[in-house]
Amino acid sequence: MRDHDSVPLPDYRELEQAEMIARADAFYEEIKRRHTVRSFSPRPVPREVIEACIKAAGTAPSGANHQPWFFSAIGDPATKREIREKAEIEERAFYVDRKAGEAWLDALAPLGTDEQKPYLEIAPWLIGIFAQRRGGVEAGEERKNYYIAESVGIATGFLINALHSSGLVTLTHTPKPMDFLNRICGRPDHEKPFMLLVVGYPAEDATVPLHALRKKPLEQIASFI
């Protein structure tokens, strides 16, 4: 390797093989209890939970370790209302004016989604996730970022996992276009809104579409060569 500063691996913990298998199985059992939810309770969630989960997301691997992400956590009711209004404008174009096209609307039919997004106001937290085209490791740097979508996607996966582990539910929401998020969250133009994550407790009568429970079996998603 080229010369660079380093330290011995600081916190790796090796597990016995039996323990390894047990933990891998236990993780699968736990993560398969994660479901995307579209019906939220207004019950408050402490800000410190959101902070810890965002810190967990911030440990994700990223291109050149530039960490090209920014998380805007929105708990303010007026801001949530404005996001709902702007998102529903795009969703009306998508569903009602049928901008989505037949094939896309057909694909969504088993999920039962429509242009109404009340959860954007009801859930205690919305997290606007932004992908930074420029940045670097130091605050204020303006270097080119690399593998931006891959990096932000992985960090978002960490965030969803952390929130699930904390006993919360999430919805990955992507109104299209969602440039309105930049203005509302006060983010610069070189940041692309990546996703809006809705976070909270599920409503008591929350349901999941049967379609969403159909996860592909191992043979369909993996091969061992």
* Site residues, ligand IYR (CB under 6 A): 91, 94, 108, 111, 113, 173-175
Nearer to ligand IYR (CB atom), residue 94 or residue 201: 94
Tokens of 215: 């996860």
Nearer to ligand IYR (CB atom), residue 9 or residue 213: 213
Euclidean distance between the first and the last CA atom of the chain, given in angstroms as a whole number: 29
Q: Minimal distance in Å, beta carbon 75 to ligand IYR?
A: 21
Q: Minimal distance in Å, beta carbon 114 to ligand IYR?
A: 7
Q: Where are the beta strands (DSSP E) in the chain?
A: 69-74, 125-132, 134-135, 143-144, 169-173, 191-200
Nearer to ligand IYR (CB atom), residue 184 or residue 196: 196
Nearer to ligand IYR (CB atom), residue 21 or residue 89: 89
User: What does DSSP assign to residue 203?
Assistant: P
Q: Minimal distance in Å, beta carbon 100 to ligand IYR?
A: 7
Q: Minimal distance in Å, beta carbon 113 to ligand IYR?
A: 4
Tokens of 198: 């809705």
C-alpha–C-alpha distance, residues 191 and 181, integer Å: 10
- As a dihedral over the C-alpha atoms of residue 59, residue 63, residue 66, residue 69, rounded to 10 degrees, the angle is -70
Q: What are phi and psi of 60, to 5 degrees?
A: -65, 155
Nearer to ligand IYR (CB atom), residue 37 or residue 66: 37
Nearer to ligand IYR (CB atom), residue 66 or residue 117: 117
**Under a CB-based contact definition with an 8 Å cutoff, are residues 156 and 197 in contact?**
yes
Q: Minimal distance in Å, beta carbon 107 to ligand IYR?
A: 7
C-alpha–C-alpha distance, residues 120 and 199, integer Å: 9
Instruction: Select the residue whose beta carbon is closest to ligand IYR and give its number.
Output: 113
Q: Minimal distance in Å, beta carbon 149 to ligand IYR?
A: 16
CA nearest to 114, candidates 81, 98, 93, 91: 91
